[in-house]
Amino acid sequence: MNIRFGAWAKATAGAAFFLLFAGGMVTSTGSGLSVPDWPLSFGTLNPPLIGGIFFEHGHRMIAGGVALMTFTLAFLAGRPDVPSQARTAAWLATGGILLQALLGGLTVLFQLPPAVSISHACLGQGVFCLLFAAAVLAVPGNVFGPGYSRVFRFSTLGFAAAYLQLALGALVRHTGSGLSWHILWASSLIVLTTLAVFTAWRSEAAVLRGPALLLTLAVPLQLCLGLLALRLRVDSTVILGFREAALWRTAHLSGGALVLAAFLLLALKSRRTAEAL
């Protein structure tokens, strides 16, 4: 195991999570076109950070930092002591972040076309998941108890359902439509979370209990944040400052990434159990 690669993968995944939050604040504050040009901001790397420029330009600067960290991770992945699957995840993340930068530029240059904006939001979650997977796969697997196949099945289905839920959320954020589907689909996450957590605890595999606990906490938290975001959307009697409301809506987006990570962690742990056995 390459300790340097594992530590850098964790740091890069953490930075990518923060980037998702920063990107969410751009949308939540309506700052998407505060900077009309790309890749520079008003022709410079140091525009005045006022109003929406703070969020939009700040997002770009953070994205640049995450890109550099990802390129470094891809370089470290070339070492022979890095597990092959972690190397693949790192290299896929590198390709993903290049495409993500292109989509971000097209979003600005074509003035927020919904299809491009939604693709940009969904790909950002995908890049985060790849970086998170690289960090998890960098750690050698262990042999656990029985019951791993059902845990893997339910956690994989849960991950897919959570990703679709995030896509529906992006549809709501960027077009204002699809809210009913977004709300209804949340029920699938509740069911799959229950099944994944229940089978993980029944497997008596101690290493699966941490991811199961994370999932148990992440999904209810996300549901609560979703209910708050919904109330902020439909109930004008909720009195919050503009930035405070934007923070809560963005917290809901970030909570979705946390749910994805929890499902992914449980799936990877249970799959590696199956491989070890």
- Write out pLDDT tens, residues 158-194: 999 999 999 999 999 899 889 999 999 999 999 999 9
- Write out pLDDT tens, residues 189-223: 999 999 999 999 988 788 899 999 999 999 999 99
144 or 88, which is more confident? 88
- Give backbone dihedrals phi and psi of 193, rounded to 5 degrees, phi first: -65, -45
CATH of 143-277 among 3.40.50, 3.30.1890, 1.20.120, 1.20.1270 = 1.20.120
Quote the pLDDT of residue 3.
Answer: 82
Mean pLDDT for 77-93 is 93
**pLDDT over threshold 80, residue 260:** yes
Ranking 41-45, 90-94, 214-218 by mean pLDDT, the lowest is: 41-45
**pLDDT over threshold 80, residue 235:** no
Quote the pLDDT of residue 118.
Answer: 93
Average predicted confidence (pLDDT) for the chain: 89
**pLDDT over threshold 50, residue 276:** no
What residue spans define the domains of the chain? 1-140, 143-277
Ranking 31-45, 193-207, 226-240 by mean pLDDT, the lowest is: 226-240
Mean pLDDT for 66-81 is 94
- Write out pLDDT tens, residues 266-275: 999 887 654 5
**pLDDT over threshold 50, residue 143:** no
**pLDDT over threshold 80, residue 237:** no
- Write out pLDDT tens, residues 4-35: 899 999 999 999 999 999 999 999 888 888 99
- Percent of the chain whose pLDDT exceeds 70: 91
Q: What's the pTM value of the predicted model, to 2 decimals?
A: 0.91
Quote the pLDDT of residue 147.
Answer: 47
